[in-house]
A and B are shown apart, each in its own frame.
Chain A
Amino acid sequence: MINLDTVAPLGASQVSPLLVSAENLPIARNPLYYAWRRFLANRGAVFSGSVLALILLMAVFAPLITSTSYEEQKFLTENLAFPSSEHWFGVDDLGRDFYTRIIYGGRISLSIGFVAAAFSVIIGLPLGALAGYYGGVVDWVIMRIIEIFSVVPPLMAALLLAALAGGGFVSIVVIAALFGWVQVCLLVRGQVMAFRNKEFIRAAQALGASPQFIIFRHLVPNSISPVIVGFVQAIPLAMMLEAGLSFLGVGIAPPLPSWGQMINLGINFMFFYWHLALFPTLALAITVLSTTLFGDGLRDALDPTLKG
Chain B
Amino acid sequence: MFGYVIRRLLSICLTFFIVSMLLFVMMHAIPGGPFDATDMPLNEAAKAKILEKYGLDQPLYVQYLKYMWGVLHFDFGIPYQSPGETVLELLGRAWIPSLVLGGAGVLIGAPLGIALGLMAALRRNSWIDYLTSAIATIGFTIPVFVTSMLLILVFAVWLNWLPASGWGEPRKWILPIAAYSAIPMATYARYTRSAMLDTLNKPFVNVLRAKGLPEHKVIFQHVLRNSAIPMVTVFLPMFIGTATGSIFVEAMFRVPGLGAYFVSSIVTRDYPLEMALILMITVMFCFAYFLADVAYALLNPRIRLGGKGPK
Contact = CB atoms under 8 A, between A and B. Distances in A.
B153 A157 contact: no
Contacts of B286: 151
Contacts of A159: 247, 262-263, 266
A156 B278 contact: yes
Nearest to A259: B146
B172 to A, nearest CB: 16
Chain A's interface: helix, strand, loop or mixed, by majority? helix
B153 A151 contact: no
Interface string A257-273: 00010010011001100
B307 to A, nearest CB: 12
Nearest to B289: A151
A243 B277 contact: no
Contact of A240 (B143, B277, B289): B143
A144 interface: yes
Contacts of B281: 153, 156
Contact of B29 (A155, A164, A267, A289): A164
Given A151-B15, A289-B138, A248 B289 contact: no
A284 interface: yes
Contact of B142 (A260, A270, A289): A289
Interface stretch (A126-134, A187-195, A207-215, A274-282): A274-282
A288 interface: yes
A19 B247 CA distance: 65
A157 B26 CA distance: 10
B122 interface: no
B141 A289 contact: yes
A147 B11 contact: yes
Question: Lowest 7 A-B CB distances belong to which pairs?
Answer: A292-B141, A151-B285, A281-B149, A164-B30, A240-B143, A285-B146, A151-B286
Nearest to B28: A164
B137 interface: yes
B157 interface: yes
12 contacts: A156-B281, A159-B262, A160-B274, A161-B26, A243-B143, A243-B145, A248-B251, A270-B149, A270-B164, A271-B164, A284-B146, A289-B137
Given A152-B282, A271-B157, A144 B146 contact: no
Interface string B221-260: 0000000000000000000000010011001100000000
B19 A152 contact: yes
A281 B30 CA distance: 31
B145 A244 contact: yes
A148 B247 contact: no
User: On chain B, which size bracket covers the interface?
Assistant: 35 or more
Contacts of B14: 144
B141 A236 contact: yes
Given A153-B285, A247-B145, A288-B141, A148 B19 contact: yes
Nearest to A151: B285
A164 B28 CA distance: 9
Nearest to B194: A308
Contact of B11 (A144, A160, A293): A144
Contacts of A270: 149, 152-153, 157, 164
Given A148-B18, A151-B282, A278-B153, A156 B30 contact: no
A247 to B, nearest CB: 6
A163 interface: yes
Contacts of B252: 267
Contacts of A243: 143, 145
Given A151-B289, A289-B142, A163 B30 contact: yes
A145 B262 CA distance: 24
B174 interface: no
A244 B143 contact: yes
Nearest to A160: B26
Interface in B133-152: 137-138, 140-143, 145-146, 149-150, 152
B149 A263 contact: yes
Given A151-B286, A151-B289, A156 B145 contact: no
